[in-house]
Amino acid sequence: MRTYGIALLFVLGALLLFTFHLGDMSLWDNDEAKYTQIAREMATSGEILTLTYDGRPWFVHPPLAFWLQAFTGRLFGFNEFTARIWPALFGAIGVGVTYLFGRALFSERIGLWSAVILATMFQYFAQSRLVVFDTILVVFMLASLYSFYQGYARSPSPARSSEAGPSIPGENPLPSSPWTGDSATRRSYLWGFAWAGLATLTKGPVGLLLPAMTFLAFLGIRRELSKLRQIPVLLGLGLYLLIGGTWYVVEAIRHGYPFIARVIGYYTFYRFLGPVEGQSGPFYYYVPVLLLGAFPWTGFLYSMATYHARRLDQDSSLLLILWCAIVFIFYSIAGTKLPNYILPLYPLCAIGIASTWEAFLQNPQEHRRKMAVGALVNFLATFVVFTEVALFARWKYPVELVHLRESLLLLSTVLFLGLLLATVAFFAHRERWSLLLIPATMVVAMIVLVTAVLPQVEVMRPIRPLARQIQVEVLGGNPVVALMPEIPSLRYYLNHPVEWITDPGRFLESICRGERKVVIVRGGLDSELEKVLKGSEVIAREGPFVAFRIDVPMRSWCSSSP
C-alpha cells in the first residue's frame, strides 16, 4: 500500500508541473489545432467511430485519444486546457509507471529518482503539455513491457538465478509476490497484451510491436525462449485484437478500400518504409533530438550506457538497454521521422540514469570517472543548447528574438547558475547535493519558461485574436474565404467552415459568388486584388493577416470583370 501511495504522490506532483498555466497558450499548428477540431466535431456530431476534419473523413490515427478529448470537451467545453489535459494526465501517469518499473527492476529509491528524472526531462515535459498523444502511447507501451517482464519474473528459472552477476547495492532481486505461480504469470502476460491493445488503439500496431520485439530479444539473449510456452499467446492475441483491432475491422467494413489504403497502408506500413507528408530525415536524425530532449540529464546518457553495458548479465540492465536500443534503431531506420516518435525512450533512460547514480553514490570511487564526464557534459550542454537555439532564432525569427531577449536571458541564467552549482557540488564531493540541484534547477526553469517566456511568445501569435475579431461576422452565417494554405488553428478558433484557396484567380471567382462573405488575406496584395478589395470594410487586422467584409456592391465589379 505504501508503494502505491508514493507512486500517487509523484503522479500528483508531475500533474501539477504539467498543468501549471496549461491553458494560457493558444493551440499550435498543425497537430494541436487539428486534433482538437477533430474531437470537437466528434462531440458535436455524435459519430465516434469515423474521425472527421472539416466534415470530411480523416483517415490517419485510431480514435482512443480523440474519444478522451471529445468526452472532456463535451463535459466542460472546448478550450486550451481541456484540449491538453489528457496528454498532461497521461504524462503524469507515465511518471508513476516509471516509478513502479524502476522499483521492480532495481529498488524503491531508484524508482523514486527515475520518476523525478523523467518528469524533468525537457522533451517529456514539453510533450506532456501539448495536444499530441505520444504520452498516452508511452504509458500503454510502458505498461505492456512492464507486464511482460512481470510475467517473466514471476516464473524464475534456475538458469537465470545462477547466471546473475553482481547487483547494485540495495537492488531488488527478481520481484517476489504471494501470487507467484502459473495463474499470476498468465495474468501478467494477458495484461501485457491488453495494454498493447490500448496502445494500438491510440497510435497503431507499433503499440504491440516494440514491446514484443524487446521482450522476444530479451528471452532470446537469455536463452529462455522456452518460456514462450508459459505465455497464453492465442488468448493474449485475441484480447489484443479485441481491444486494439475491432475499430480497424469495423471501419474497414464501413469504408472499404479508402480506409484500408490510408490508415493501414499509407499511415501504418508506408510510414515505416518511406516519408509520410514529407517528414523525412537522415539516419542520425534522433541523435540531436535525444541530446536536447533528455536535457538536463543529457551528459549522464553516456554514464548510463557504459555502466549498464557492463552488467548485461543482469536482467534489469539487459531489458533497459534492449528497449532503448530497439526503440532508437527502429525509428532511426523508419522513413518517416518526427521528434515525438522517440518519446518511449525516456522512461527507461530515466531508470537507467537513476540506477547509475545510485551505483555511484554507493561506490563513488569505482564510478567517479564516468560520472565526472557526465557532469561536465551536462554543464557544457547548457551552452550548446542555448547557442543552437539562439543561432536558429536569429536566423529564423530575428524580430521575435529581440522581443524575447529579456525572458530568454532570465531562463538561460537560471539554467546556467543551477547547473553550475550542481557541477561544483559534484567536484566538491557533495554528490547528493549535485543530484538534487539538477531537477530543482529544471523545475525553476520550467516555471520561468511557462510564466515569463511563453506569455511573450503568445503576444506575437495573431490567430486567436484575429479569429475573435471575425467571430461576429461568422456567427451571422457569412461564408469565409481565405487566400492562403490551410491554417488549422484559424479553422478551429473561427469554429466555422473556411474555403482555403491558394490561387488568386480562383479566389476572385469565389468572392464573386454569394451576397456577402468574409475574406481573409495574408501579406501584401497584388494590384488586382488590391483593386477588388479597395473600399471593403476591414473587420480584423492582426500581424500579417487582414480580414474584409465583402458586401453586395461587389456585384458591380464582379459583373464587369472579364
Close Cβ partners of 210 (under 8 Å, ≥ 6 residues apart): 141, 326, 327, 330, 344
- C-alpha distances (whole Å) from 222 to each of 57, 315, 440 are 47, 9, 39
pLDDT higher than 50, residue 159: no
Phi, then psi, of 236 in degrees rounded to 5: -65, -45
- Kindly indicate the confidence band of residue 381, based on its pLDDT and cuts at 50, 70 and 90: confident
- Kindly indicate the confidence band of residue 166, based on its pLDDT and cuts at 50, 70 and 90: very low
Answer yes or no: are the C-beta atoms of 364 and 431 closer than 8 Å.
yes
Section 274-283 average pLDDT:
77
Answer yes or no: are the C-beta atoms of 419 and 298 closer than 8 Å.
no
**Which DSSP symbol is given to 513?**
S
Close Cβ partners of 491 (under 8 Å, ≥ 6 residues apart): 33, 37, 54, 498
Q: Residues of the chain with pLDDT > 90: what percent?
A: 57
- Kindly indicate the confidence band of residue 553, based on its pLDDT and cuts at 50, 70 and 90: low
Section 323-331 average pLDDT:
96
Average pLDDT in the chain: 87
Section 457-476 average pLDDT:
87
For residue 24, which of 495, 464, 541 has the smallest C-alpha distance? 464
- Kindly indicate the confidence band of residue 137, based on its pLDDT and cuts at 50, 70 and 90: very high
Q: 115 in helix, strand or coil? A: helix
pLDDT higher than 70, residue 468: yes
Instruction: Please report where in the chains the cell 514491446 appears, as a residue.
Output: 211
Section 296-316 average pLDDT:
92
* 170-195 tens-digit pLDDT: 455 544 444 445 788 899 999 999 99
Percent composition of the chain: helix, strand, coil (DSSP 3-state, to 5): 70, 5, 25
* 180-238 tens-digit pLDDT: 457 888 999 999 999 999 999 999 999 999 999 999 999 999 999 988 888 999 999 99
- Kindly indicate the confidence band of residue 328, based on its pLDDT and cuts at 50, 70 and 90: very high
- What sign does the dihedral 241-247-251-257 (CA atoms) show? negative
CA distance 20 to 404: 21
For residue 346, which of 388, 385, 383, 297 has the smallest C-alpha distance? 297
Phi, then psi, of 524 in degrees rounded to 5: -70, 155
What is the H or E stretch that residue 19 is in?
helix 2-19
CA distance 375 to 472: 57
**Least confident span in 159-173, 243-257, 463-477, 548-562:** 159-173
Q: Specify the higher pLDDT residue, 25 or 385.
A: 25
Instruction: Please report where in the chains the cell 481573409 appears, as a residue.
Output: 520
**What does the pLDDT read at residue 177?**
42
- Kindly indicate the confidence band of residue 162, based on its pLDDT and cuts at 50, 70 and 90: very low
Section 29-51 average pLDDT:
94
- C-alpha distances (whole Å) from 296 to each of 60, 152, 223, 308 are 34, 34, 37, 20
CA distance 522 to 545: 5
**What does the pLDDT read at residue 3?**
65
**What does the pLDDT read at residue 77?**
93
CA distance 512 to 261: 38
pLDDT higher than 80, residue 539: yes
- Kindly indicate the confidence band of residue 163, based on its pLDDT and cuts at 50, 70 and 90: very low
Section 77-81 average pLDDT:
95
CA distance 83 to 71: 10
* 509-532 tens-digit pLDDT: 877 776 678 889 987 666 667 667
**What does the pLDDT read at residue 1?**
56
CA distance 471 to 492: 12
Beta bridge partners, 53, equal 56
**What does the pLDDT read at residue 503?**
86
- What sign does the dihedral 464-470-472-474 (CA atoms) show? negative
